[in-house]
Amino acid sequence: MSTRREFLKQALTGTAALSLGGLMPGLSNKSYGSVLGANDKIRVGAIGVNSRGMALATNFAMQPGCEVVHICDVDSRALAKCADAVEKIQNNKVRRDRDLRKMLESPEMDLVLIATPDHWHAPAALMAMQAGKDVYLEKPCSYAPHEGEMLIQGAAKYRRLLQMGNQRRSWPNVIKGIEEVKKGTIGRVYFGKAWYCSNRGPIGTGKEVDVPEWLDWDIWQGPATRVPFHDNYVHYNWHWFWHWGTGEALNNGTHMVDILRWGMEEDYPVSVNSVGGRFRYQDDWETPDTQVISMNFADGKSMTWEGRSCNGRTVEGAEVGAMFYGEKGSLLITGSNGYTIYDLKNNLVKEEMSGTTFDQNNLVNPTQSLDVYHIDNLCDAIRKSTPLNADIVSGHKSTLLVQLGNIAQRVGRTLNIDPLSGHIRGDKQAQKLWSREYEKGWEMKV
């Protein structure tokens, strides 16, 4: 197997930068990262820093082995706020850009972290890899399944590291809990249940208004086809519009479905169904606020994800979680760095916890101290060729499960799935949602 240093050397000497829809003609071999010395800091650029990206950028800046050198956001206010915060932490200046294409031309970065809206995740990650950068990509890894497949191809073609932000894959006690599942502590596991519940309010009925002076609306839309600006789109509410967002299923469901798939050792299902809708308020919110996705697998296992965006009644006493059900008992993983095992009579058998928990009311930085484990894993992969805990292959598979649930929801019927590829069988209407329509000139091309 080639070492990380060999990958970087090949990137310097021979890999050609292909453009994303012809948008990056200025890239050359000079744009590729320099070979990282054993004692050098990993130079980081951050794209999308209004909320989650702000938390990630400052967290990376706090790590002794990293230096954040570049900040990019289409919101001039968020750009200034994040750059100022990073400069205060590091006591040095960072470069600032509103256009990620200009940022990616810089040879001064080894790693790009991406926390943009969902429709930008895969295109930005592909562009970064084409520019010779490794990538930390917030979940979900893609807006549509085809984009996830393209990221797998891109990581292989450009020989870059791509870590998805399903951070629980790096939490020590969660890892131990998954090991308990796999070694048979609760017997053969045949069912898994995941959930997320919250009390989100209405988003109202938006009005078409002038684009605020602080926002570059054209670049914000990027690969998505153009629509007029409304006053209830930016920043957070885009999650609930199909044009850019992927709903609660991918916003929060990706995390816990990933845990189920990890512990149950599943790849692709044979069928997926979804029920639900926008029930709580009458407003512009399009994606479901109430949803149950059911997934069946060829080996006789099944799993569900329940999302309730507007009713915060907990499950198993937790706002977010995953439960494994086996022949000898059950194992629960919630938002904390820990797990709990019960026998069939609901007696507590074992519990291993840390004091840090997931704060579902904190939309920006719910698990700051625990995220460092994931950051360290990525940095070790760059420096030492340590395997990623959450590479793009596993990230795509977990993202795909909830994407299939959303597709089933939108077409209103159960999907039959090829268990070898994850592709939808015999449903032309559903297959159209496998990819998306791009704004002309912004198409993804590996």
Determine, yes or no, domain membership for 381: no
Same domain membership, residue 175 and residue 125: no
Q: What's the pLDDT score for residue 274?
A: 98
Query: Are residues 34 and 69 located together in one domain of the fold?
Result: yes
Q: How many structural domains compose the chain?
A: 2
Cα torsion for 250, 256, 257, 263, to the nearest 10°?
A: 160
Same domain, 293 and 150: no
Gap between the Cα atoms of 68 and 84, Å rounded = 12
Question: Is residue 238 domain-shared with residue 313, that is, in the same domain?
Answer: yes
Residue holding tokens 């929801």? 409
Helix (H) or strand (E) holding 401: helix 392-411
Residues 68 and 149 in one domain: yes
Domain end position, chosen among 124, 153, 168: 168
How does pLDDT run across 18-49, given as a tens digit for each residue? 334 333 333 333 333 334 554 589 999 999 99
- The verdict on 82 and 161 lying in the same domain is yes
Q: Is the domain of 27 the same as that of 116?
A: yes
The residue from 168, 195, 218 where one domain ends is 168
Contact 418, 430 (CB under 8 A): no
Tell whether 159 and 43 lie within a shared domain: yes
Q: 217 in a domain, yes or no?
A: no
Q: What parts of the chain have a pLDDT lower than 50?
A: 1-35, 38, 358, 360, 362-365
How many other C-beta atoms are found inside a 10 Å radius of the C-beta of residue 287?
A: 24
Residue 76 lies in a domain: yes
Per-residue pLDDT, 354:
82
Residue 291's domain spans which residues? 171-204+229-364+393-430
Query: Quick check: is 388 in a domain?
Result: no
Whether 209 maps to a domain, the answer reads no
Q: Quick one: which of 359, 196, 189, 396 has its CA closest to 293? A: 196
- Bridge partners, 193 (sequence order): 304, 323
- SS3 percent helix, strand, coil of the chain, rounded to 5, is 35, 20, 45
Q: Are residues 294 and 408 in the same domain?
A: yes
Q: 110-127 in b/e burial notation, b at 16+ Cβ within 10 A? A: bbbbbbbbbbbbbbbbbb
Claim to verify: residue 16 and residue 103 sit in the same structural domain? yes
Pairing mode, strands 189-197 and 302-308? parallel
Give the CATH number, domain containing residue 29.
Answer: 3.40.50.720
For residues 103 and 194, state if they share a domain: no
In a domain, 446, yes or no: no
- Looking at residue 15, its pLDDT comes to 31
Contacts of 22 (CB under 8 A, 6+ apart): 441
**Structural domain contains residue 139:** yes
**Per-residue confidence (pLDDT) for residue 98, from 0 to 100:** 97
Please give the pLDDT value at position 369: 81
How many angstroms separate the CA atoms of 357 and 351, rounded?
A: 15
* DSSP sequence for 114-145: E-S-HHHHHHHHHHHHHTT-EEEEPSSS-SSH
Last residue of a domain, one of 153, 168, 183: 168
Read off the pTM: 0.89
45 & 58 share domain: yes
Q: What is the structure's pLDDT at 21?
A: 39
Laid out side by side, the sheet with 66-72 consists of: 95-97, 66-72, 42-47, 111-114, 134-137, 162-164
Flag whether 223 is in a domain: no
Neighbours of 398 (CB within 10 A): 29
- What pLDDT does residue 363 have? 47
Asked if residue 147 lies in contact with residue 439, where contact means CB atoms within 8 angstroms, the answer is no
- The CATH number assigned to the domain holding 289 equals 3.30.360.10
